[in-house]
Amino acid sequence: MKYIQIKGGAPLCGEVAVQGSKNAALPVMAACLLVRGVTVLQNCPDISDVCCMCRLLQSLGAKVERCQDALRIDASHLSSCHPPQELVMRMRSSVILAGAMLGRCGEVHLHTPGGCVIGDRPIDWHIRALGQMGAEFEEDGCLVTARARRLRGGRVVLPFPSVGATENVILAAALAEGQTDICGCAMEPEIMALCAFLNGAGARTAVAGRGHIRVTGVGALRESVYRVEADRIVAGTYLIGVLAAGGSAFLKNAPVRQMASVTALAGRMGAKLSAETGGLYVERRGRLCAPGYVETGVYPGFPTDLQSPLLVALCQAEGESRLAERIFNGRLAVAEELNRMGASIRVDGCCAGMTGGSRLYGQDVTARELRGGAALVLAGICAEGITRIRGRQFIDRGYEDIVRDLRRLGADIGDKTGL
Ligand code: UD1
């Protein structure tokens, strides 16, 4: 079995280039189904979730080829509206195929999607919102069938700014009849990226206010070339790595403007940061101070995807911290593994408290989901001695090669087999 081995205890120093964004690439790939022709997506990260989406698109009849960092997606002809269960169950974001397939074919058969184990992840809001646009749903066990003879615009109100539900409605609305006003929608940078891609292909989407996106349906989308932006979560993971382990790094291509909540918190904890041409410089040499209370939130709040990495920095900072997870209810499970490494995190429902100053020690631990896995890697870098991390496949869903990147920052980290 493959595992990651880390000899920890040294600061991180150097430069690393930040890969393209997973959460921007996946919905844009789904959006390619709306284009009867070829789309080229540059800077598409080479991660297993993107590979899974490539296979999903192929299963529907699209031709997908990778050429270095670019994907060429030819959706001129589709042959199926039933992606295989095995692929859909593997990745929760396969649910965004619903909006795209309804827009393109008026029909889709989807098994209830899977994904990371980070709490309840229902799709009721997706179903209700697409229903408001004219789609009809039938459920048979875990198979959901959606059909829409014609999708029509109107006012779609989301009960919570769900990223995936917002993406699904935008995808369904792009070719729908009339104007769709999505109210209470998510405004994450990845939503803006989806709108930018669609507009580049001839769609008409616009921000009409806070939590309000307006999509005016068009007859067809055209071929285009689009560059996926850098991944704010990967950049944030490495930033938090420097914060926790100490040292200095230049995060090339980091999308600084999207990272304000993360850089502000890192500054409060004692890091020096400067936005430079082409990236972000981060340094932490002196004390690591506890920030007091932190909570995750919808953008521009602190991203839930960086909550687990942040735990590693909090449990070493001087002083008491409290953290509240406001988006996913099962996202503090990694605390148990961190405690086995010497942290003292007390979890109570969606809140965690920790007395800082914990010394971490190398341990054999297991990653069970993507961001929790990244947190264990950062913990291994901070820990005294050898840490071995199983479950690399979860980390590979979102990081092109975390071992390569952290080696570039001077970490003593490698891939091993055995264990
Ligand atoms: C996306 C991101 C994920 C990120 C999350 C929040 C992708 C591929 N994934 O996930 O990395 O952590 O946004 O920023 O882009 N909910 C319901 N019913 C629904 C839909 C959602 O109850 O129909 C709940 C979820 O259980 C969760 C909350 O809403 O508690 C937020 O979920 P959502 O914003 O939809 O996250 P995802 O789109 O799944």
**pLDDT, tens digit, 9 for 90 and up, residues 8-31:** 999 999 999 999 999 999 999 999
* CA nearest ligand 1 atom 25, residue: 121
**pLDDT for 141:** 83
pLDDT on residue 92: 85
Q: Reply yes or no on whether the pLDDT at 119 is more than 80.
A: no
Atom of ligand 1 nearest to the CA of 121: 26
* Alpha-carbon gap, residue 103 to 108, rounded angstroms: 10
Q: How far apart are CA 339 and CA 311, in angstroms?
A: 11
- Residue 279 and residue 151 in one domain: no
Q: How confident is the model at residue 118 (pLDDT cuts 50, 70, 90)?
A: low
Alpha carbon nearest to ligand 1 atom 21, residue: 162
pLDDT digits (tens, 9 = 90+) for 89-114: 898 889 999 999 999 999 999 987 66
Tokens, residue 345: 């995190």
Expressed in angstroms and rounded, the spacing between residue 343 Cα and the centre of ligand 1 is: 28
Ligand 1 neighbourhood includes 304 CB (under 6 angstroms) = yes
Which tokens sit at 163? 């990223």
| DSSP code for 134 | T
Fill in the amino acid letter for 64: V
- Pair (269, 203) in one structural domain: no
Q: Residue with structure tokens 């284009």? A: 35
From 1, 2, 7, select the one nearest 413 (Cα to Cα): 7
Task: Indicate whether 269 pLDDT > 90.
Answer: yes
At which of 199, 227, 255 does a domain end?
A: 227
Do residues 30 and 128 both lie within one domain?
yes
Q: How far is the CA of 108 from the centre of ligand 1 (A)?
A: 21
Extract the tokens encoding 223. 């071929």
Same domain for 100 and 87: yes
pLDDT at 204: 98
- The residue from 32, 116, 185, 315 that is catalytic is 116
C-alpha–C-alpha distance, residues 52 and 45, integer Å:
12
Question: With contact defined as beta carbons under 8 Å apart, do 304 and 273 qualify?
Answer: no
Are residue 49 and residue 120 in the same domain, yes or no? Answer: yes
Ligand 1 centroid to residue 166 C-alpha, Å = 10
Q: How confident is the model at residue 116 (pLDDT cuts 50, 70, 90)?
A: low
User: Taking a C-beta distance cutoff of 8 angstroms, is the pair 96, 33 a contact?
Assistant: no
**50-93, pLDDT tens digit by residue?**
999 999 999 999 999 999 999 999 999 999 999 999 999 898 88
Do 13 and 111 lie in one domain? The reply is no
Closest C-alpha to 216, from 183, 187, 186, 174: 174
- Cis peptide, bond prior to residue 45, ω within 30 of zero: no
Q: What digits encode the pLDDT tens for the residues 172-182? A: 999 999 999 99
The boundaries of the domain holding residue 210 are 22-227
Distance CA 94, CA 27 (A): 9
Q: Which amino acid is at 194?
A: L
For residues 57, 63, 66 and 71, what is the CA-based torsion angle, rounded to 10 degrees? -70
Q: Are residues 107 and 75 in the same domain?
A: yes
* Claim to verify: residue 198 and residue 276 sit in the same structural domain: no
Domain of 184, CATH number, reads 3.65.10.10
Residue where a domain stops, chosen among 205, 227, 249 = 227
Instruction: Please state, in angstroms and rounded to a whole number, the distance separating the CA atoms of residues 201 and 195.
Output: 10
Residues 40 and 110 in one domain: yes
- How does DSSP classify residue 56? H
Total tally of structural domains belonging to the chain: 2
State how far the Cα of 83 lies from the Cα of 61, in Å rounded to an integer. Answer: 10
Separation of alpha carbons 216 and 387, rounded Å = 53
* Geometric angle at alpha carbon 36, from 30 and 42, rounded to 5°: 50
313 and 368 part of one domain: yes
Ligand 1, atom nearest to 26 Cα: 8
Same domain assignment for residues 297 and 339: yes
Q: Is 153 helix (H, G, I), strand (E, B) or coil?
A: strand
Whether residue 413 sits in one domain with residue 356? yes
In ligand 1, which atom is closest to the CA atom of 125?
23
The answer to whether the CB of 311 falls within 8 A of the CB of 360 is no
Active site residue 195: no
Domain boundary among 227, 258, 292: 227
Span 246-251, average pLDDT = 98
Are 408 and 16 in contact by the 8 Å Cβ rule? The answer is: yes
Cα separation, 241 vs 11, whole angstroms:
9
Distance CA 88, CA 143 (A): 11
Please state, in angstroms and rounded to a whole number, the distance separating the CA atoms of residues 249 and 347: 32
Q: What per-residue confidence (pLDDT) applies to 329?
A: 86
Is the CB–ligand 1 distance for residue 140 below 6 Å? no
Residue 115 pLDDT class (50, 70, 90 cuts): low
What percent of the chain shows pLDDT beyond 90?
92
Residue 388 has pLDDT above 90, yes or no: yes
Is the separation of the CB atoms in 309 and 332 below 8 Å? Answer: no
